[in-house]
Amino acid sequence: MGAAFFYHLTDTPLEATLPMLIGKARGAGWRVLVRGTDDALLKRLDDVLWQGPDDGFLPHGLAGGPYDADQPVLLGDAPSDGFACVMSVAGADVTAAEMTALERVCILFDGHNGAALDQARGQWKALTDAGCSAQYWAQEDGRWTKKAEK
């Protein structure tokens, strides 16, 4: 069973943090699902990933295409089967049951949005109450710092 890493976004926006985390996950050899339920947000993230630097391009695709099973990074609201890492954005749910087959879950949430904070707190409680290990990361002086672990 993998661990859930919660990323409290306050200084760096999702559009900058997500590519960095995807790069780390791909560096570990993991196939990544970026799970979201907001099609407009997923399209915007797709655009961001296409505009990345040439030396840091992250091959990816939006769910619903003919080559979904071949994508090293897939953006959509898909099941986690076949992925080693799920990155949840905008409150997309990840269950404790599906974590048993994953190496890592990254839950990215907007630290300036009260509803997003409440959602992340609920997700932390649900996962840790189910016995999943979790880490909470926040930005401090421009660096990511582990603030809690359970």
Write out pLDDT tens, residues 4-33.
999 999 999 999 999 999 999 999 999 999
Which run of H or of E encompasses 73?
A: strand 73-76
Q: Given this model, what pLDDT does residue 6 score?
A: 98
> Between 14-27 and 39-50, two packed helices, what is the crossing angle to 10 degrees?
70
- Judge contact between 14 and 45, C-beta under 8 A: yes
| pLDDT at position 141 over 90 | no
Domain locations along the chain = 3-149
Write out pLDDT tens, residues 37-92.
999 999 999 999 988 766 778 899 999 999 999 999 999 999 999 999 999 999 99
d(CA 104, CA 32): 9
CATH number of 3-149: 3.40.50.10110
d(CA 141, CA 55): 27
